[in-house]
Structure 1
Amino acid sequence: MGFTEEHRKWVEDHISRRTGERRGRLERGHGHGERMFLEKVWWPMMGHFNDLHPEYEVLDWRSKPYFVDFVWKPGQVKFAFEVKGYGPHVQNTDRTRYRQELNRETYLQIAGYRVVAIPYDDLDASPDLTITLLRPLLMPYLAVKMEEQGEFSRLERDILRIAVRTNECIRPVDLVRELGIDLRTARKYMKSLSEKGRFNPVVSQASGRVCRYEYVHSFSDFHMW
């Protein structure tokens, strides 16, 4: 599935599991800037929304609720992402509110969050720059998680390397030639990787059977090899 459908499902899932102000904040607060961050940065970089929480409630030092645009929790580490526009965050005439916002960011770090500010203007003008800056920051934590989970077998990783290198759809017969495995094994592992979300099966209109597999790009591409 593409971004639009996966994003819709992801937001609806979080809304369905919330009540009260936590639900209302997500329905009201997940706006244009947040969606642009997901579409232009997070989705191209990650390929999924696993462990990412929108409009995440955190209590500040006064025990008052504060909603972070996004919190990513891939394990023990916690990242807080805030999309910041120039107007609301720099030209804000409410100095008390501005001061409290800065104090909240400091408190989030005390509470164990790594706080990352995302410039709204960069999302529109240069999202590739944001990806370039985020990738080395997030990479070590995602790599550790994948290693702990043992997510892919050696043969699966070999298949993914081929997919990254060729950047094209893969047929089981291609794996027979590249890896020296039999066709049955190739089909078995392509099915496994499809179930893990790394390939989309492509059905032939003529035969109605799966004839090839479309690779689903992921942030893990950049550290798996």
Structure 2
Amino acid sequence: MSDMLFQKAYDEWMSRVIRHSQGERKRRLMEMDSYNEQLLLKNLWWPALGSFDHLHPEWEVSDFKDGQRFVDFAYMPFGLHRGLILEADAYGTHLRDVSRFRFGDNLERQNHLLMDGWHMLRFSRDDLLEKPKRCQQTLLAALSAWAYGAGSEAPQLTLYERAILHWIGRHNSEIKPVEIMAALKIGFTQASVNLQSLESKGYLRSTRSAQGKAMSYLVLPKTQRIN
């Protein structure tokens, strides 16, 4: 179920990103390293946050010397300016097989980006495969420490809860439990339990019948949430 939710969200997101890209970035997106970068998304980003909002793959940045660089992912929840850079590094690609010049250039690139105000997290392919929970904890701790606003929310939500919020957010309308059942291919009990949990956490507000039965749900704006 989790793989299916990820793949569906990933395909929709990448299709949208490619459609709105051009030039060198679009070429890079079309040829993107499907293993390392999808691994970062599948084992790190999606389990921790459950959404690709404000995340930009193959993002072009200007470094400290006004050189143009591409990074694996840039997370910019506050608009198109400085944010968090995330990269997935395979041992063979980034160490064993690079020239001395390329190795030094990679270090200089990172230093310039940090001096220019970017935050950066880099994860090895081995850790993403073997220690994904630790990587997720590092990401959430960094988001909290650097005041990106996502670190305190994400651990409270289950996979189904994040999937429900993602689906409701895309449709931007009041929804019924039966619609969640159809969209996520889950039973009535699973849908009801997670919708009620989201309401208790302050993410949703239900509309109820005269008998008190929840008929539909609407996402609450952040300013109205209780947590």
Assess same fold via TM > 0.5: yes
CA distances 1:114-146 after superposition (whole Å, capped 9, x unpaired):
011111111111111101221111135343799
Q: What are the ranges of 5 or more consecutive residues in structure 2 without an aligned counterpart?
A: 154-164, 166-188, 201-205
Answer yes or no: is the 8 Å Cα contact 2:64–2:113 preserved in 1: no
Which residue in the other structure is 2:192 paired with? 170
1:106-185 correspondence to structure 2 within 5 Å = 106-139=111-144, 141-143=147-149, 168-170=190-192, 183-184=208-209
Match of 2:28 in 1: 25
How far did 1:77 drift? 5.6
Conserved in 1, the CA contact under 8 Å of 2:64 and 2:115? no
Please state if 1:92 is matched with 2:97. yes
Structure with the bigger RCO (C-alpha within 8 Å, sep 6+) is 1
Instruction: Say whether the 8 Å CA contact 1:78–1:114 is kept in structure 2.
Output: yes
**Deviations 1:180-200 (Å, cap 9, x if unpaired)?**
x98248747x5213x98xxxx
Tell me the matched-pair count: 174
1:8 pairs, out of 11, 17, 39, with 11
Shift, 1:170, TM fit: 2.3
Q: 1:41–1:130: 8 Å Cα contact kept in structure 2? A: yes
TM-score of the two chains, using structure 2 as the length reference? 0.65
Structure 1 runs not aligned, ≥5 long:
148-159, 161-166, 197-223
Computing the radius of gyration over CA atoms, which structure comes out larger, 1 or 2?
1
| CA distance 1:49–1:106, change in 2 (3 Å) | same
Q: Report the secondary structure of 2:36's partner residue.
A: helix
- How far is the alpha carbon of 1:168 from its aligned partner? 4.9
Residues in 1 aligned to 2:195 and 2:72: alpha-carbon distance in whole angstroms: 45
Q: CA deviation at 1:90?
A: 1.9
TM-score (norm. length: structure 1) = 0.66
Query: What do residues 165-216 of structure 1 show as CA deviations (whole Å, max 9, x unaligned)?
Result: xx953269969xx8xx98248747x5213x98xxxxxxxxxxxxxxxxxxxx
1:103 aligned to which of 108, 113, 118: 108
Q: Quick one: which of 192, 196, 212 aligns to 2:218?
A: 192
CA distance in 2, matches of 1:25, 1:91: 23
4+ residue runs over 3 A deviation: 60-64, 144-147, 171-175, 184-188
Work out the CA distance in 1 between the residues paired with 2:195 and 2:108: 58
1:54-93 mapped onto 2 (5 Å cutoff): 54-75=57-78, 78-93=83-98
| CA offset digits 1:67-116 (Å, max 9, x no partner) | 10000011276001111111122223411111111111011111211011
* Preserved contact between residue 72 and residue 80 of structure 1 (Cα < 8 Å): yes
